Structure 1
């Protein structure tokens, strides 16, 4: 959605907001409460500071500016170590089964012409073993995960040349997304990779890769990894299948949305869920798990995330208010609609003014 020309008054407000954010970032010790308040209103695109603001909001950068260089060097070095362990360039040996968890050279003396003596094959190493410790089973699961990551990365925002296309730049960006998701999956065995995580990673990497500071832009992959981990730490219950039906799982989150809508517009909630039987899981599952990345154009997503990341308790509560506001903004069409028309409307949300959407969401306190 193309942005409309700014009025002199709105342009003046934008300049004022930009100067306030720059002033907040220039302090020796960042006041996070002040920064959250400013960022929640949107980070001006022209300021060139969104990358720094997001890193602060996600706790990746410490409040003390004097520690930034040291902390960044440590984290970036740690990420390189993760790459060395989990993304080896060779095929065979430890590389195919996940670094240090793979085979060692301990059986090398028993190998002749590339084959192991049958007597030397442990039960858990048998190709047909279904045991969790089976190297063959681990290899199969790892390969399946890699294939899923590859498919999803290639489908990430196909309309944006940054992510898609034949250019070396786009392919390099795809490689970075792939690396981050694979390393995350290897380090988080309880969740591994869940389809759609690529969509949550994409805005982070886009913002960091476009940092005006070339040094920071060159380390966008490492910075995105740690910020991605931090962001998902507050959302992991939505991705854990074992918690789906629990109070903290995705169904519990959807129930909170239903209750929030009932609080602010009981008539709409009743019409949707009782009269037309359009329950939140039919449309809001994607809204919530993917942080609205599929509902709006990419520029609008970035502005929505300014607000989401500003919540000191994590994005979930703010996200629910935005989802509720989305329903309220199309209230007239929903009240007049039936199951089919309402479902179609909510599964393909119409273009809207993001500033107005966030304004309405902010009123739902």
Structure 2
């Protein structure tokens, strides 16, 4: 891994050779996943839609056999559309409407389901409206709006079901394990920036809202949990900015399935009853602590002495895959490595440990409040430096 993460000072010719190597991997009739992982682990070139395609492969949406791609994509995109048709139903449009009305006490009433859905939808709506406010992207119109939604006179726009909200400019992430963080968000110039677009158009945040609502409906045992919006955001951004038009126009459906696959791997982080299990978030935080103790016992001892508990910082780092600690471009680069590593979330622990080790001097010079603020607002350290250090720790811990 250290070799993989050597400083990338590519000349133009070496960069072209790197692109050629990736093309050779992706153009194989049956893609060698181990070679793809090895390449992507060092960062996926941000050109020609490479990242969008590679993430589809690394997160098991596309099979390694290229001959099966068209069939796979066609099947899943049609399936997603079918789910939309079934889920985005407006009360009052049902058959036998006289038997089903808003005041019905029947637990099977579709109006009853509608009102219960709105409870989750209200939270989703709040969260997606403040997704990456430092970027204008999510407030911009998508080039591929869902026609039966944007031409429904608002009846199928999910945000119309919960009404307009005045959104607090802070993002609170908490799960019963103590204070995590209140992250100040970039100030908005006007609440109108949160409003849906006019008839015939929809903003990217509205598309993300729809994906999360469909996921919530299809996974009632888990439902929607705050923070999922931060996981889906980078995936959707990657797919919706794909320069390959035939991929970009299906960003919504493909994002849904890739997000679902990723959530199947990290879902236990979001389920409180599983906190103490081997795959739960408490155990993951414990692993970060153990890894730090192995690699820098002085810093670990100092954190314990000052009562700096993992839930003050590493809870959010782990649960949201570091998506709140870095800018979106940096997150995309970090996720290239996370999705490429065969022991994906073992490397996440290495990254978290590296982040602490790299600011050890500042930690050792601080008191409780200073250290907590430092860890909750991670300083400006180059992503490349962090990943290099994480790779170094990974090699050391596997020896």
TM over 0.5: yes
Partner of residue 37, structure 1? 38
Q: Does 1:362 align with 2:337?
A: no
Q: Does 1:338 align with 2:367?
A: yes
Partner of residue 309, structure 2? 279
Q: Among 266, 289, 292, which residue is 2:322 paired with?
A: 292
Structure 1, unaligned runs of 5 or more: 1-5, 95-103, 126-132
Mapped contact 1:261–1:324 kept (Cα < 8 A): yes
Partner of residue 130, structure 1? none
1:281 Cα offset (Å):
0.5
Partner of residue 252, structure 2? 221
Mapped contact 1:163–1:171 kept (Cα < 8 A): no
Partner of residue 69, structure 1? 70
Q: How does 1:1-365 map to 2 (within 5 A)?
A: 9=10, 11-88=12-89, 90-92=90-92, 105=96, 108=98, 124-125=106-107, 138-164=113-139, 171-272=202-303, 274-313=304-343, 315-365=344-394
Report the Cα distance in structure 2 between the residues aligned to 1:8 and 1:301, rounded to whole angstroms.
21
Partner of residue 189, structure 2? none
Mapped contact 1:156–1:164 kept (Cα < 8 A): no
SS of residue paired to 2:277: coil
Report the Cα distance in structure 1 between the residues aligned to 2:354 and 2:43, rounded to whole angstroms.
17
SS of residue paired to 2:243: coil
1:93 Cα offset (Å):
5.7
Report the Cα distance in structure 2 between the residues aligned to 1:139 and 1:22, rounded to whole angstroms.
48
Report the Cα distance in structure 2 between the residues aligned to 1:299 and 1:10, rounded to whole angstroms.
22
1:270 Cα offset (Å):
1.2
TM normalised by structure 1 equals 0.84
**1:247 and 1:137, CA in 2 relative to 1: closer, same or farther beyond 3 A?**
farther
1:301 Cα offset (Å):
0.7
TM normalised by structure 2 equals 0.77
- Larger RCO, structures 1/2 (Cα 8 Å, 6+ apart): 2
Question: RMSD between aligned alpha carbons?
Answer: 2.5
SS of residue paired to 1:78: helix
1:338 Cα offset (Å):
1.3
SS of residue paired to 1:293: coil
The total of aligned residue pairs comes to 332
Report the Cα distance in structure 2 between the residues aligned to 1:115 and 1:21, rounded to whole angstroms.
56
Structure 2, unaligned runs of 5 or more: 1-6, 141-192, 395-399
**1:270 and 1:87, CA in 2 relative to 1: closer, same or farther beyond 3 A?**
same
User: Could you give the per-residue CA deviations for residues 186-209 of structure 1, whole angstroms, max 9, x where no partner exists?
Assistant: 111111000111111011111111
1:183 Cα offset (Å):
0.6
User: Could you give the per-residue CA deviations for residues 91-126 of structure 1, whole angstroms, max 9, x where no partner exists?
Assistant: 3366xxxxxxxxx63x84x68xx798xxxx76x54x
Greater mean deviation of Cα atoms: 166-175 or 52-61: 166-175
SS of residue paired to 1:145: helix
